[in-house]
Amino acid sequence: MAKRKSDGDGALNLDSLMDTVTNVVGVLMIVLIMVSLNIAVSIEKILSELPPVTVEQFEALKEELVKEKPQLDPKKLEEEMLLTKDNLKKSDEELKTLDTTDESQVTKMVDIDELRAQLEKNTKVRDERKVVIENMLEELEKTKALLDTTPVYIPPAATVVKLPNPRPIPENALIQRFLVVGTKVVYLNDEEFYRVITDGIEKQKKSLMFEGQIKDLFGEVIMAGGKPKEFVDRRKLAAFFADRMRLSTRDLKVELTGTPNGSRLSMKLSMQPGGGEDVATMKQPGSVFQRAMRKFGSEPNTVVWFYVFKDAIPTYLAAREIADSANAACAWELTNNDFYQRQLTTFEVDFVPAKPPPPPPPGQIRIPAPKTGLD
């Protein structure tokens, strides 16, 4: 147990405390004096740096401050306050009537990913259109270059064509045929060739006959007059025509043509290379064409018939002018064949029957071909 201190020790402690307080107060007083001295020095420095001001200058500064101070009108301030209050009331009423459920008034948040996808899509479309436009511009430049290098078209000279005067062909007219191909015209004389071919075959018919019988599609023998029909052997006929007849001339090539499924042959007349007469030759009075036109023009029952290939219109017009000047009765037809062909009807050759064509649909309208005539 601690021993109780004596009263003498308490008096000693109080004296020590008083000494300490006295020391602290002394130090504070010294600090206060030092601070006061520093403040006095600072004030003196500030006052020494201020410019001197007279009474007149001071009064002028006061008046300038009064002028710069805004003069507020109490009535005007009151009016502005009333106007502001009215605007606030109107805004409150509008806010009360505003329908916040309207989707059109709801602010839509910006979707960055959606905008980025849209941008990429538009960029792709732009690039595709750019390629298309560049290709079009390239084609345009090529076309311009072609146009720059294309020569100016000079149309050919106009061709005068006489209007036809249609009229019927005389009965029992003798047709004299001419073939017009390219720049040449040739007299066919097909009636004479036809007669020579048929007469020659008729004279040798017994040696040219087909040895056997021809059957139809149903396997039945083709009959004529109660007995099997006679046919010329097409192989024998071809050999006979090539070896014995030889009808081709300097101007014309004569051939026999047919199909395996047909029993009729045709006489084919075509122009030889270098054959026929051109326009310059025809215009000479002694040409074959002019002599023929003078002869046929003097025969009232003779008709000159031109078979005109599609590339020979100018040549035909020149020949027609000569024929008209000779008063020859003329007609013409445009053909896609550069040859003339006529069927031989005095005999038939062996053949392989073909399947019959299907019957035409019921109710089909058939328009007949126009009648031939002079022009």
Residue 322: inside a domain:
yes
244-289: pLDDT as tens digits: 888 889 999 999 999 988 999 999 999 999 999 999 999 999 999 9
Give the predicted TM-score (pTM) of the model: 0.56
Placement of tokens 């329908």 in the chain: 99
* Cβ-contact 292, 187 below 8 angstroms: yes
Residue 311: inside a domain:
yes
Indicate the helix (H) or strand (E) that contains 322: helix 313-325
Residue 129: inside a domain:
no
52-86 core/surface letters (b: 16 or more CB in 10 A; e: else): eeeeeeeeeeeeeeeeeeeeeeeeeeeeeeeeeee
Residue 138 or residue 355, greater confidence:
138
Structure-token pair, residue 7:
């009263």
Residue 318: inside a domain:
yes
Give the pLDDT confidence score for residue 3 in this predicted structure.
Answer: 47
In sequence order, the β-bridge partners of residue 209 are 232
Residue 339: inside a domain:
yes
Give the pLDDT confidence score for residue 50 in this predicted structure.
Answer: 66
* Other Cβ atoms within 10 Å of 335 Cβ, number: 18
64-83: pLDDT as tens digits: 776 766 665 677 777 878 88
Distance CA 150, CA 34 (A): 112
Query: Which domain, by its residues, includes 311?
Result: 174-204+248-343
| Separation in Å, CA 373 to CA 74, 246, 344 | 120, 34, 24
Number of domains in the chain: 1
Structure-token pair, residue 172:
């029992």
pLDDT at 97 over 60: yes
* Cβ-contact 245, 222 below 8 angstroms: no
Cβ-Cβ contacts under 8 Å for 204 (sequence gap 6 or more): 240, 244
Give the pLDDT confidence score for residue 106 in this predicted structure.
Answer: 47
Residue 91: inside a domain:
no
Residue 19 or residue 311, greater confidence:
311
pLDDT at 163 over 80: no
Q: Which of 23-27, 196-200, 238-242 has the lowest mean pLDDT?
A: 23-27
Residue 314: inside a domain:
yes
Nearest Cα residue to 319 out of 355, 285, 290, 295: 290
164-186: pLDDT as tens digits: 678 888 888 999 999 999 999 99
Pairing of strands 266-271, 302-309: unpaired
